[in-house]
């Protein structure tokens, strides 16, 4: 590459439960063709089954973390870096990842003060058609919705499909999916492929046609108001509406063998949709997968992140908030393509070009020029803009 090429560095993820990698060897080749040199930290792809030799074959330079951080113009990651790595970033560098900026305000503030440009794919404007190839939230939610159903099927001690054998006929599993966003729709489709009878619910009336188009039944909850919001997203329910929804779901949930919840709110506590009472009323052997389980809570009362428990009543409850990491190879492949598209948007003429008048960049650029510039994140940093 010529002297004017931007150098991108791929960090090894340091969180113990994070197996993904920001760029795969296949995408390294694509990125290099666009005029970006690539450094990869030693062992960065190992947990997703990409070897250092794979990266070398793709003409990336495999280096130690110190060399990577000293040479890279753009540092690429999946999750927010640890404090030691973040402290090594310098003015003029750009950090790109899924940085959870609404919950990582102190880190974002520190990086901004040091002159690091911070770009977070969490804040991508998802309603822009030209941003779809960069939409990491969607790509990772697709992986998660698929894997959630496989985990549920594995934990469920009966068949998902109806089977007729010499020993008799087994009835299909009754699956309920709460939330019909990207993850929920993928869960519906996957459960249907496995032969289950699927019902789904979403607070947005517009979701009913999407649910039914996948061959699932829409769960009607009497007395629960519509929560249609702007841009096709759900608005936050009032306390009274939440109580009505919880009561209706508590009555409906025990009819199902398998329950998968998918309702997440970036940077905020997930809505509670399934009470302990509902869990107590489910049949022994039922399985619940809470895809929203995190340190902030989950959609299901009693669920804990990354923990599986068999409750006193015989219900298996799985806190599964980081399923893309469980399917690290597929998730990394999709995420790397998202990053490749974003890099093509950010890099021009051998440099990172930040343009806050561009709709996409106005969404994803969190900090630049020594300031927190994202309207969504600035209030978390005392209005620093």
Give the pLDDT of residue 171: 94
pLDDT at 266 over 90: no
d(CA 195, CA 175): 10
pLDDT at 385 over 60: no
d(CA 329, CA 347): 26
Identify the H or E element spanning 120.
strand 117-120
- Measured in Å, how far apart are the chain's first and last C-alpha atoms? 37
pLDDT at 226 over 90: no
CA-based Rg of the chain, rounded to a whole angstrom? 22
pLDDT bracket for residue 165 (50, 70, 90):
confident
Handedness of CA 297, 48, 308, 195 (dihedral sign): positive
Give the pLDDT of residue 222: 81
Give the pLDDT of residue 236: 72
Task: Mention the CATH class of domain 138-326.
Answer: alpha beta
Q: What are phi and psi of 169, to 5 degrees?
A: -110, 135
Q: CB under 8 Å to 304, separation ≥6 — which residues?
A: 293, 298, 319
pLDDT at 237 over 90: no
Q: Return the closest-CA partner of residue 301 out of 259, 266, 267.
A: 259
274, β-bridge pairs: 300
Task: With H, G, I as helix, E, B as strand and everything else as coil, classify residue 142.
Answer: helix
Tens of pLDDT along 325-350? 999 999 999 999 999 999 999 998 88
Q: Return the closest-CA partner of residue 342 out of 27, 3, 45.
A: 27
Percent of the chain with pLDDT over 90: 82
d(CA 260, CA 161): 17
Give the pLDDT of residue 355: 94
pLDDT at 184 over 60: yes
CA 332, chain centre distance (Å): 12
Considering the four listed CATH numbers 1.20.1530.20, 3.40.50.300, 3.40.50.920, 3.40.50.720, the one that applies to the domain covering 6-134+332-381 is 3.40.50.720
d(CA 134, CA 16): 26
d(CA 332, CA 23): 7
pLDDT at 46 over 90: yes
pLDDT at 375 over 90: no
Give the pLDDT of residue 229: 53
Average pLDDT of 347-357? 92
pLDDT bracket for residue 2 (50, 70, 90):
very low
d(CA 100, CA 367): 13
pLDDT at 5 over 90: no
| 372 within 8 A of 385, measured Cβ to Cβ | yes
Asked, colleague to colleague, whether 6-134+332-381 and 138-326 share their fold, the answer is yes
Tens of pLDDT along 70-118? 999 999 999 999 999 999 999 999 999 999 999 999 999 999 999 999 9
Domain ranges for the chain, please list them. Answer: 6-134+332-381, 138-326
Q: Return the closest-CA partner of residue 150 out of 187, 176, 198.
A: 187
Q: Return the closest-CA partner of residue 218 out of 242, 195, 202, 196.
A: 202
| 8 within 8 A of 343, measured Cβ to Cβ | yes
Q: CB under 8 Å to 268, separation ≥6 — which residues?
A: 102, 296
């Amino acid at each position: 590459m010529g002297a004017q090429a931007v150098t991108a560095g791929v960090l090894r993820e340091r969180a113990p439960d994070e197996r993904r990698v920001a760029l795969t060897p296949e995408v390294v080749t694509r990125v290099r063709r666009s005029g970006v040199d690539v450094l990869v930290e030693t062992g960065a792809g190992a947990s997703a089954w990409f070897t250092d030799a794979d990266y070398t074959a793709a003409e990336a330079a495999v280096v130690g973390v110190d060399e990577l951080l000293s040479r890279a113009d753009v540092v690429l990651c999946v999750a927010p870096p640890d404090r030691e790595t973040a402290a090594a970033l310098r003015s003029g560098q750009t950090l790109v990842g899924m940085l959870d900026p609404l919950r990582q305000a102190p880190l974002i503030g520190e990086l901004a003060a040091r002159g690091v440009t911070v770009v977070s794919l969490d804040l991508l404007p998802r309603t822009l058609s030209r941003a779809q190839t960069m939409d990491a939230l969607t790509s990772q939610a697709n992986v998660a919705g698929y894997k959630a159903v496989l985990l549920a099927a594995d934990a469920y001690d009966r068949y998902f499909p109806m089977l007729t054998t010499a020993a008799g006929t087994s009835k299909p599993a009754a699956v309920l999916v709460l939330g019909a966003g990207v993850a929920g729709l993928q869960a519906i489709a996957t459960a249907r492929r496995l032969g289950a009878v699927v019902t789904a619910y979403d607070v947005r009336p517009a979701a009913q046609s999407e649910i039914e188009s996948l061959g699932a039944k829409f769960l009607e909850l009497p007395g629960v108001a519509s929560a249609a919001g702007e841009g096709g997203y759900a608005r936050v329910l009032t306390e009274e509406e939440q109580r009505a929804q919880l009561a209706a779901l508590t009555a409906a949930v025990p009819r199902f063998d398998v329950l998968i919840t998918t309702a997440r709110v970036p940077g905020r506590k997930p809505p509670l949709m399934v009470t302990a009472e509902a869990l107590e009323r489910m049949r022994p052997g039922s399985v619940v997968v809470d895809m929203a389980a995190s340190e902030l809570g989950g959609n299901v009362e009693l669920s804990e992140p990354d923990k599986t428990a068999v409750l006193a009543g015989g219900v298996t409850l799985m806190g599964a908030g980081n399923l893309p990491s469980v399917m690290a190879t597929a998730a990394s492949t999709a995420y790397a393509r998202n990053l490749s598209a974003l890099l093509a948007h950010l890099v021009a003429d051998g440099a990172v070009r930040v343009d806050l008048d561009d709709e996409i960049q106005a969404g994803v650029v969190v900090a630049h020029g020594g300031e927190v510039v994202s309207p969504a994140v600035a209030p978390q940093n005392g209005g620093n803009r």
